């Protein structure tokens, strides 16, 4: 029995099969990240629909009575910090493509800190509301927006932080093969595909914050 087990042929993948599996994994990361972006877009699009529907209906003048508005300074800070974090990460990603891994790591940690700060300020804003959650159509949609945006910012920060931790490990593993930005080894290629997806997701976070900042704070 032991002899039969020891002489059993081992299944070995060919180089062509390994290359195909790697391309499939990269494609799965690309598709999955863009699918996540699409799902988030639909979620926030439904919130925008609720905003415009309640605003146009304005039943009994209860859409936005007395011109109530969420704290403008805090909302502007959340928007500005989120956009700053996304732009810093995008800049770092461009530097990564040029082989400057440390530049991306520095910008990445700045981005994580910015996103966490924006999420914290979004939560703090909920404690400074001049209205109750169900006081009007404006207040209801704003509370929904604040909760969704907090989740979006925390997801973005977590994704970026996991990439930074992986980059630190990869620097040693593929140091002799060009580092995480240039290595042709599977872990490095999958890392770069993941980073591109994260950068796209952060761009979505910045865009969403821009649109809803205009809706809730600028449009009267």
Comparing 12 with 188, the larger pLDDT belongs to 188
pLDDT digits (tens, 9 = 90+) for 63-72: 888 878 888 9
Residue 161: give its domain's CATH number: 1.20.120.80
**What pLDDT was estimated at residue 124?**
94
| Long-range Cβ pairs for the range 123-129 (8 Å, 24+) | 123/150, 124/74, 125/70, 125/71, 125/74, 125/75, 125/78, 128/71, 128/74, 129/70, 129/71
Q: How confident is the model at residue 6 (pLDDT cuts 50, 70, 90)?
A: low
Residue 83: inside a domain, yes or no?
A: yes
pLDDT over 70, % of the chain: 92
Q: How confident is the model at residue 1 (pLDDT cuts 50, 70, 90)?
A: very low
Residue 150: inside a domain, yes or no?
A: yes
Task: Work out the mean pLDDT of the chain and round it to a whole number.
Answer: 87
Domain boundaries, position 218: 71-220
Residue 58: inside a domain, yes or no?
A: no
Residue 5: inside a domain, yes or no?
A: no
Comparing 130 with 18, the larger pLDDT belongs to 130
Comparing 61 with 69, the larger pLDDT belongs to 69
Residue 37: inside a domain, yes or no?
A: no
Q: Which residues contact 86 (CB under 8 A, 6 or more apart)?
A: 111, 202, 203, 205, 206
Residue 117: inside a domain, yes or no?
A: yes
Q: What is the mean pLDDT of residues 163-179?
A: 80
Rounded CA gap, 185 and 175, in Å?
Answer: 11
Q: Number of folded domains in the chain?
A: 1
Q: What does pTM read for this prediction?
A: 0.86
Residue 128's nearest CA partner among 81, 77, 47, 69 is 69
**What pLDDT was estimated at residue 9?**
53
Residue 44: inside a domain, yes or no?
A: no
pLDDT digits (tens, 9 = 90+) for 155-168: 999 999 999 998 88
Residue 151: inside a domain, yes or no?
A: yes
pLDDT over 90, % of the chain: 50
pLDDT digits (tens, 9 = 90+) for 120-154: 999 999 998 888 887 788 899 999 999 999 999 99
**What pLDDT was estimated at residue 38?**
93
**What pLDDT was estimated at residue 173?**
73
pLDDT digits (tens, 9 = 90+) for 184-214: 788 888 888 899 999 999 999 999 999 999 9
């Amino acid at each position: 029995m032991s002899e039969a087990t020891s002489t059993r042929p081992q299944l070995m993948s060919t180089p062509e099969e390994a290359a195909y599996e790697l391309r499939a994994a990269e494609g799965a990361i690309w598709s999955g990240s863009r699918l996540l972006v699409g799902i988030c877009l639909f979620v926030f699009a439904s919130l925008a629909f609720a905003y415009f529907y309640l605003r146009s209906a304005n039943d009994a003048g209860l859409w936005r009575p007395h011109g109530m508005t969420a704290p403008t300074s805090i909302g502007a800070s959340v928007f500005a910090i989120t956009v700053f974090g996304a732009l810093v990460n995008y800049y770092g990603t461009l530097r990564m493509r040029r082989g400057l891994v440390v530049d991306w790591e520095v910008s990445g940690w700045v981005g994580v800190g910015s996103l966490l700060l924006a999420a914290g300020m979004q939560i703090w804003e909920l404690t400074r509301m001049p209205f109750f959650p169900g006081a009007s159509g404006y207040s209801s949609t704003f509370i929904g927006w604040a909760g969704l945006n907090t989740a979006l910012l925390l997801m973005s920060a977590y994704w970026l932080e996991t990439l930074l931790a992986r980059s630190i490990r990869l620097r040693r593993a593929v140091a002799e093969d060009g580092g995480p930005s240039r290595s042709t080894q599977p872990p490095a290629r999958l890392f770069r595909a993941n980073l591109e997806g994260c950068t796209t997701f952060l761009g979505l976070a910045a865009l969403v914050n821009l649109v809803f900042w205009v809706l809730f704070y600028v449009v009267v």
